[in-house]
Amino acid sequence: ADFDAKKKRKVAEINQALSSDPIDVAALRRMAISEGGLLTDEIRCKVWPKLLSVNTDNLPPPPGKELREDNKDYQQVLLDVRRSLRRFPPGMPDDQREGLQEELIDIILHVLKRNPQLHYYQGYHDIVVTFLLVVGDRLATALVEKLSTHHLRDFMDPTMDNTKHILNYLMPIIDQVNPEVHDFMQSAEVGTIFALSWLITWFGHVLSDFRHVVRLYDFFLACHPLMPIYFAAVIVLHRQQEVLECECDMASVHHLLSQIPQDLPYESLISKAGDLFVQFPPSELAKEAAQQQAERTAASTFKDFELASVQQRPDTVLRQRFRLRGEERLRGEERTKSILTKPRTNRFVKLAVMGLTVALGAAALAVVKSALEWAPKFELQIFP
């Protein structure tokens, strides 16, 4: 009964945010991030376009036959889509699935044709099929195009340089929370390639339960483009005992981490990923993670994304949420303090900053954590 009441209350809050003038995008982000996400596909059809600033009154027309003619990506897309059987609901009639696969091909080719600067990569179809199954082909086309020119932009370059750049954030995040796990993984020389398919498919390729996939999509759409790498980090940290008990060699650790558990505590991990983003924002980790000038990556040019106001920034929503949770923790939760404690000198500075943040709220956060601004310009150093 309590769950039903909370669900009804959340649905009412979402509808209120959608009906306000202007639409309360910040509230929709909070709903997408908070426990349970957006609850149903019917709600997602309404909210996902708002999170991506997509005008649903001006959707692309149905594709014509010319879309597939002389298209350099057609054969590769066709092969990948034919291999995508497991991404469709079990028991779906063959003719229905085959029809959706044809629509999937057309969506991908449409986006690529309209945006010649984008390059197809294997795994892209895993993201597109999620949108297709939730919102249908025409709306999916518009959402995927916006997503591809923003959140996914770095994966769609001619080379993998920017994708590697994003993967290079993984180890610094782990190091901030658990240096023992970080050092163990460094000793094993496992690298970050085990997380590549997680990142470039937004976990769509590696999770078998579609409910978990769309829950993560709610979260990622409401947040900064780098949030998937924070989520990858909390998965590794969640499995820290398994990692430390593993043989300290590349093959063993890679095999362990590449086999992602299907029974993860998703809501807890989503919450922790949001917290880590606020505590250790990308700008703080940039010098360690960077491989190239920050201006070239979607993670740093995201300020250009069409958000209606400062209050609707995804990081602002996360920061407000984290501040409220921090105030709750002050009333008795010492667990977080132990998690954040790291036996290195700079941790004392970090704890002092976090203390100011909790005590003084968003104003202190804005002053003390000025690095949280969207596009800081650093002299970047290559992370080995």
pLDDT tens profile 13-54: 999 999 999 999 999 999 999 999 999 999 999 999 999 999
Q: Name residues whose C-beta falls within 8 Å of residue 206's C-beta, 6 or more positions apart in sequence.
A: 197, 198, 260
CA distances from 261 to 4, 43, 206, 208 (A): 28, 28, 9, 10
> Could you give the 3-state DSSP secondary structure of residue 316?
helix
Are 206 and 133 in a shared domain?
Answer: no
* Distance between CA atoms of residues 58 and 293, nearest Å: 35
Run of H or E including 141: helix 137-148
* Distance between CA atoms of residues 260 and 93, nearest Å: 29
End-to-end CA distance of the chain: 53
pLDDT at 365: 36
Q: 279 in a domain, yes or no?
A: yes
Q: Specify whether the CB–CB gap between 269 and 231 falls below 8 A.
A: yes
Are 120 and 228 in a shared domain?
Answer: no
What is the pTM assigned to this prediction? 0.79
Both tokens assigned to 27: 């509230």
Nearest Cα neighbor of 111 from 102, 100, 124 is 124
Q: What is the mean pLDDT of residues 51-63?
A: 88
pLDDT at 314: 67
pLDDT at 17: 96
CA distances from 301 to 95, 153, 292, 375, 381 (A): 42, 10, 14, 6, 19
* Number of domains forming the structure of the chain: 2
Are 59 and 197 in a shared domain?
Answer: no
CA 343 from centre of chain: 29
Q: What is the DSSP letter of 89?
A: P
Are 46 and 127 in a shared domain?
Answer: yes
Q: 360 in a domain, yes or no?
A: no
CA distances from 135 to 44, 130, 214, 221 (A): 8, 9, 11, 14
pLDDT at 244: 97
* Distance between CA atoms of residues 106 and 71, nearest Å: 11
Q: 384 in a domain, yes or no?
A: no
Instruction: State the Cα angle at 349 between 294 and 355, rounded to 5°.
Output: 105
Are 133 and 46 in a shared domain?
Answer: yes
Q: 47 in a domain, yes or no?
A: yes
pLDDT above 80: residue 90: yes
Domain boundary pick from 153, 172, 201: 153
Q: Specify whether the CB–CB gap between 205 and 123 falls below 8 A.
A: yes
Are 2 and 144 in a shared domain?
Answer: yes
Instruction: State the Cα angle at 240 between 151 and 245, rounded to 5°.
Output: 140
Are 78 and 181 in a shared domain?
Answer: no
Domain boundary pick from 153, 172, 192: 153
pLDDT above 50: residue 370: no
pLDDT at 295: 42
CA distances from 285 to 59, 118, 236, 295 (A): 38, 27, 18, 15
pLDDT at 292: 35
pLDDT above 60: residue 378: no
Q: 303 in a domain, yes or no?
A: no
Are 26 and 142 in a shared domain?
Answer: yes
* pLDDT tens digits, 206-260: 998 999 999 999 999 999 999 999 999 999 999 999 999 999 999 999 999 999 9
Q: Mean pLDDT for the chain? A: 82
* Distance between CA atoms of residues 194 and 337, nearest Å: 30
* pLDDT tens digits, 109-149: 999 999 999 999 999 999 999 999 999 999 999 999 999 99
Are 171 and 144 in a shared domain?
Answer: no
Are 23 and 118 in a shared domain?
Answer: yes
pLDDT at 309: 38
Both tokens assigned to 333: 């939760």
Q: What is the mean pLDDT of residues 189-211?
A: 94
Nearest Cα neighbor of 109 from 82, 137, 71 is 71
* Distance between CA atoms of residues 302 and 82, nearest Å: 33
pLDDT at 178: 96
Q: What is the mean pLDDT of residues 265-273?
A: 96
CATH number for the domain including 193? Answer: 1.10.472.80
Write phi, then psi, for 110 (nearest 5 degrees).
Answer: -60, -50
Domain boundary pick from 236, 262, 296: 296
CATH number for the domain including 86? Answer: 1.10.8.1310
**Count of Cβ atoms closer than 10 Å to residue 378 Cβ:** 13
Q: 244 in a domain, yes or no?
A: yes
Are 145 and 191 in a shared domain?
Answer: no
Residue 73, domain extent: 1-153
Q: 343 in a domain, yes or no?
A: no
Q: 188 in a domain, yes or no?
A: yes
CA distances from 180 to 5, 89, 236, 320, 335 (A): 43, 41, 12, 30, 18
Are 26 and 52 in a shared domain?
Answer: yes
